[in-house]
Amino acid sequence: MRPNELIPLFAPVETLKGIGPRLAVLMKKALRLPPGVRDARVLDLVWHMPTGVVDRRAEPSVAEAIPGTIVTLKVRVLKHKAPPRGNAKVPYKIATEDDTGRLDLIFFRAEPSFIERQLPIGEIRYVSGRAEKYGDTLQMAHPDYIVDEDHRADLPLLEPVYPLTAGLSAKVILKSVRQAACLVPTFPEWQDPAWLKARGWDGFAPSVQRIHLPADSSDVSPSSPAWQRLAYDELLANQLALGIVRQSFKAQRGRPVRGDGRIRSKLINALPFALTNSQKTALSEIAADMNAPKRMLRLLQGDVGSGKTIVALMAMAIAVEDGAQSALMAPTEVLARQHLETIAPLADAAGLRIALLTGREKGKPREHLLDALRNGDIDILIGTHALFQDDVIFRDLAFAVIDEQHRFGVHQRLALQMKGGEGGANMLVMTATPIPRTLLMTHYGDLDVSKLTEKPAGRKPIVTKAVPTDAMEKLIDRIRVQLAEGAQVYWVCPLIESSEITELAAAEERHAHLQQIFGARVGLLHGAMAAAAKDATMEAFAKNQLQILVATTVIEVGVNVPNANIMVIEHAERFGLAQLHQLRGRVGRGSRESFCMLLYAQPLGETAKERLAMMETTEDGFAIAEKDLELRGGGEVLGARQSGLPEFRIADVPGFPMLLAAARDDATMILERDPALASPRGRALRTLLYLFECDEAVRLFRAA
């Protein structure tokens, strides 16, 4: 149960004064609600952070008001001049004055009765808005605020500016956020007092109020002490939650899996190359985890072409050696089939029985496959999300591999793990997206990590060049020469078909253009094609029946055609660094010298220039990932919005890496000293976890 003091914060926004059903719907659109939350709550208003501030503290006389600035003026209403009936182009004008001069208030398409009530003749009013000069007269069109002397305190001299949506006014959101901020109680302090003092930070509730009811314009800034304090709170909650999940997972009785090495030795003999040192290290770490009495949960991250699939196969073989089964799950059918093609020849040599299950397997063939799985006649099952389905039952699943983990949610990972029966399956998650250290901490903090840092022997460097689009004809001439020597080319475009509202090259148009030059040797592959058509096209390219494959980013992960040695990426300036690196990794897999041509449209922005320069200078995926994080931010790098990864509401601030590292250390120390969060600080930290909705961690404590 949530602590009682949090109940008002988790109440619907309609519990606030002035918010009815219509405004509640608009707020649902304007506020960033966490995954699974359907309606806006008071807490979501507390986390609705301002993007700027309007300073209304300038209170000059009318004569001293500077045109073009925002001012707050105290004036007396002299007279109203309504526009002629039926002429909407003429504004409603109200003459006002103070002791130093005259100010005209201007309203277009105004409701006369409303203005007469707001500005009665002879009354004193405070008006705030942008002053402008019209001829010799000072004017203010549609003042932001009009208040009488009794309500002078209602006029916000420092007014935070918030993200809005159509139909939701700035005044309504301001009033609602202020109400929400004032409902935040004074909680027992969960931060270390010495840390707060060293940073010059205030308590939680005063920090919330400082941002939403600022005393100075600098308060409404992500680098302000108040905002930094809340950012650290969010990061600490994140790190603590990951630590608790990890602690709980590690505490669960696992299933020790020990192989005798007979299948692995056959696999090694069948490999056309020797394992790299980092592959050997990763395998020994995985084998040690599998042999331990606790459950295994490890992340294997390796750059494009570093040999993750072989490591996964060797690890799956350990389970088979122990008489059990393994599973490998990929996010797309293309990638699942690619894994099957890579693994099949090695599996045959080692006597491993493998099968593929995707959404395409139906009817009798699917039934036969599931029967074989249930009976233990399949050693390794490769598949897509289809593996989650209830009727997919293993005889004895001891080890599961999830590829491209960031495409799946934690719940999907747990669902596959639970198919391992009592003790659950040991779990290895893999990614070909090298992950910067900061993102490892925030998104993968519940996993142990192994890295593959070397490429297998024989991999040649890829010559990468950024080329303006007006040099395309020269590029095509060079490709013509390469094709004559037996080369194959990927040509990647950002869209499937052209559109009037974008100048991006479309795959279909580029396909037609290249077909005019090279004829039937040019194929087309994109996500909107039927699965069978996609397979047929990829197979034709793999067999060198097609020499040029025009494609969208559907080929980004997992496609393996060793003979393809040229990658052309059109409008490369529109892609992120990680995506460019993934695409480049499709070439350089065979014996030919390989090239990656980054076609860009001019003029290039500074960020795009930095991206392309980085691609030209390095193939180090980990260096590229760090640069991508620097240029784009964490949520975008891993696609947090699409994948269900945590997306911070407050913590995207200057100094993020330092705050994150401190939160990581603090969370580790807290859980070492007080694993049950039973001390006074521990109990306060439980409130923090509720506040930032780290429900999985809270649930684990309640179950304990």
Structure confidence by residue, pLDDT tens digits, 270-316: 998 889 999 999 999 999 999 988 888 888 988 767 788 899 999 99
Report pLDDT for 641: 37
240-264 confidence digits (pLDDT tens): 988 887 777 667 777 889 999 999 9
Output the six-digit token pair for 95. 């003459």
Residue whose pair of structure tokens reads 């010559």 in the numeric block: 463
Class of residue 260 by CB neighbours under 10 A (exposed 0-12, middle 13-18, buried 19+): exposed
- Range scoring the smallest mean pLDDT among 304-318, 339-353, 387-401, 492-506: 492-506
- pLDDT band of residue 643 (cuts 50, 70, 90) is very low
Report pLDDT for 128: 96
Looking at domain 462-618, its CATH superfamily turns out to be P-loop containing nucleotide triphosphate hydrolases (3.40.50.300)
Stretch 504-515: mean pLDDT, rounded?
A: 83
- What residue segments make up the domains of the chain, in order of their start? 4-54+163-220, 57-155, 262-452, 462-618
Report pLDDT for 640: 37
Stretch 37-63: mean pLDDT, rounded?
A: 94
Query: What is the DSSP pairing of strand 52-55 with strand 70-81?
Result: unpaired
Report pLDDT for 662: 92
Give pairs for 222-226: CB < 8 Å, separation 24+: 222/652, 222/653, 222/654, 223/653, 223/654, 223/655, 225/199, 225/200, 225/201, 226/201, 226/202
Q: Calculate the average pLDDT of the chain.
A: 86
Ordered DSSP codes for 73-123: EEEEEEEEEPPPTT-TTSPEEEEEE-SS-EEEEEESS--HHHHHHHS-TT-
Domain 57-155 CATH class label: mainly beta
Closest CA to 13 of 54, 55, 48, 53: 48
> Which of 464 and 431 is assigned the larger pLDDT?
464
Query: What is the DSSP pairing of strand 380-383 with strand 354-357?
Result: parallel
- Number of CB atoms found within 10 A of residue 605's CB: 9
- pLDDT band of residue 637 (cuts 50, 70, 90) is very low
Report pLDDT for 404: 73
Give the list of residues 6+ apart from residue 79 with CB closer than 8 angstroms, or none.
94, 95, 121
In Å, what is the CA distance from 535 to each residue of 479, 485, 496, 531, 559? 25, 26, 18, 6, 11
Report pLDDT for 327: 95
Looking at domain 262-452, its CATH superfamily turns out to be P-loop containing nucleotide triphosphate hydrolases (3.40.50.300)
Report pLDDT for 184: 96
- Total count of residues recorded for the chain: 704
Q: SS3 of 600, please?
A: strand
Q: Give yes or no on whether 262-452 and 462-618 have one common fold.
A: yes
Stretch 428-435: mean pLDDT, rounded?
A: 78
- Is the whole-model pTM more than 0.75? no
| Beta pairing partners, 301 | 431, 451
Report pLDDT for 446: 57
- Range scoring the smallest mean pLDDT among 163-167, 542-546, 559-563, 662-666: 559-563
- pLDDT band of residue 443 (cuts 50, 70, 90) is low
What percent of the chain clears pLDDT 90, i.e. is strictly above it?
Answer: 55
